[in-house]
Structure 1
Amino acid sequence: MSRGARWLTAALLPIGPAAIAVLRLVLPYDTTDDAAVVVRKVAAAPDTQSLVVWLGFVGVLTLVPAVLAAGGLTRPGAPRTTAAALVLLVPAYSTLGLLVAGDAGVLFGVREHLPEAVVARLFEAVHPVAAVAGVVFVVGHVAGTVVLGVAMGISGAVPRWAAGLTVVAQPLHFVAAVVVAGHPLDFAAWGCNAVGFAAVAVALLRVAPGRKPARVAVSSSA
């Protein structure tokens, strides 16, 4: 990888998780709200919902390249664990666009002054493809980030604290989104993810051009 490409990739790595961290902090509704409540809360804060859609778009553009870059760094020291992480994460983040489209649809309905009941029905009556995408996203990005954090630790590509932050990030996000509906906690969770990926960016910049990342003495079957 050329020097310019490495700098561009390094700059890209923390952007996606950081964007989603802000999204989860400002999101005008809770993940556990029903459709009618979602529409009412979006109607009360349409500008905030617009920011949510734009931040989601940033995530769509950056998260898949970020996890591929992280996987490229961890693969020499933990090939199988890295492969498992990417099998989960790439499909998960590839579906994010469908979820962002749902938020955009609610915002459109509110701004066009459609009846709240109609917008709620549209938000609730999810196409089967979108429903499957939601499952793939939730399972894939939570489990996949844990596995990627493990690969970061096994490979020795980043400090252990960065691997640990990555491991805990998405389980903490799941708790914040589904169990306690805590937006500041969710911001902290995705912030952990962003810090972990920033450590990957630093490690990537330290790899000399044309050389593979340093590999720790672990089993190649990891």
Structure 2
Amino acid sequence: MTTTAARTTTAADTRGVSRWAAAIVLPLGPAAVAVLRFVLPYYTTDDTKAMAAKVIAEPGRGSAVLWFGCLAVLTLVPAAYAAGRLTRRRAPRLTLVALALLIPGYLALGWLVGEDQLLWSGAHAGLDAGTITRIAEAAHPTSAIAGVFFVLGHVLGTILLGVALWRSQVVARWAAVAVIVSQPIHFVAAVIIPNHPLDLVGWGLQAVGFAAVGWAILQLRNDEWDLPALP
């Protein structure tokens, strides 16, 4: 009876798989956004008509933005959750606040990618920049709300998560610093001094920091990562 129960528990133990899944997923989202921001055919500071005209001129880059945006939307929330699982025991309050900002912020990214979908679809359908602009500017108010959630959530949330990594000492100091400085660099490159290569560096630093978090997760024993499955 005991042997059978033990075998059932072992067979149902997927903690090793979940650790590997977390380690793989962690850097994918930030890396996808890093490339997205680098190939973006327009600057965030451009007006809607300029964005539409640039997507019409370079539809290939507009399409690449959508592919990488799709990957980011699918992986950023699981990545934040996985990182939070690593820091929550030693920095519970910081982790709670960081995830309360990051997860809604990352979920809101879907609305922003939807705007790029509209620009690309309009260009692909042969619409002129003026027509695409009128459609884009008639967007539902939830788009603006999602934009606020994304900007505040991912910038402040990433900084706080980086501080939680520093305080919990679950990764090397350089990895925590990479996460902390990544989004301030992105904010400068996106809003203050528009610069796609610098934006690549900002999000790239988060990807590297998150990769270090994934490596730390792989070093854990299953019992350190999660409770075993019930027989």
Asked if Structure 1 and Structure 2 have the same fold, meaning a TM-score greater than 0.5 normalized by the shorter chain, the answer is yes
Instruction: Give the unaligned 5+ runs of structure 1.
Output: 214-222
Among residues 160, 164, 182, which one is paired with 1:169 in the alignment?
A: 182
Specify the code of the residue in structure 1 equivalent to 2:66: V
What is the CA–CA distance in structure 1 between the aligned matches of 2:114 and 2:176, rounded to whole Å?
Answer: 32
Q: Cα offset for 1:212?
A: 5.0
Q: Cα offset for 1:115?
A: 2.7
Specify the code of the residue in structure 2 equivalent to 1:44: A
Specify the code of the residue in structure 2 equivalent to 1:8: A
Among residues 148, 166, 175, which one is paired with 1:153 in the alignment?
A: 166
Find the counterpart in structure 2 of residue 199 from structure 1: 212
Alpha carbons 2:217, 2:225 under 8 Å: kept: no
- Whether 1:105 and 2:118 are equivalent positions in the alignment is yes
What is the CA–CA distance in structure 2 between the aligned matches of 1:92 and 1:203, rounded to whole Å?
Answer: 25
Among residues 1, 12, 18, which one is paired with 2:31 in the alignment?
A: 18
Q: Matched residue of 2:71: which SS? A: helix
In our comparison, the structure showing a higher alpha carbon Rg is 2
What is the CA–CA distance in structure 1 between the aligned matches of 2:58 and 2:128, rounded to whole Å?
Answer: 16
What is the CA–CA distance in structure 1 between the aligned matches of 2:187 and 2:148, rounded to whole Å?
Answer: 13
Find the counterpart in structure 2 of residue 76 from structure 1: 89
What is the CA–CA distance in structure 1 between the aligned matches of 2:184 and 2:136, rounded to whole Å?
Answer: 26
Find the counterpart in structure 2 of residue 216 from structure 1: none
Q: Matched residue of 2:222: which SS? A: coil
Specify the code of the residue in structure 2 equivalent to 1:127: H
What is the CA–CA distance in structure 2 between the aligned matches of 1:152 and 1:122, rounded to whole Å?
Answer: 43
TM-score normalised to structure 1 length: 0.94
- 1:151-189 deviations in Å (ceiling 9; x for gaps): 000101111110001000001100000011000000000
What is the CA–CA distance in structure 2 between the aligned matches of 1:169 and 1:131, rounded to whole Å?
Answer: 24
TM-score normalised to structure 2 length: 0.90
What is the root-mean-square deviation of aligned Cα atoms in Å?
1.1
Specify the code of the residue in structure 2 equivalent to 1:22: V
What is the CA–CA distance in structure 2 between the aligned matches of 1:194 and 1:52, rounded to whole Å?
Answer: 17
Runs of 4+ in 1 over 3 A off after TM superposition: none
Instruction: Give the unaligned 5+ runs of structure 2.
Output: 1-13, 227-231
Alpha carbons 1:76, 1:212 under 8 Å: kept: no
Q: Which moves more between the two structures, 106-115 or 77-86?
A: 106-115
Alpha carbons 2:182, 2:205 under 8 Å: kept: yes
Find the counterpart in structure 2 of residue 87 from structure 1: 100
Alpha carbons 2:186, 2:198 under 8 Å: kept: yes
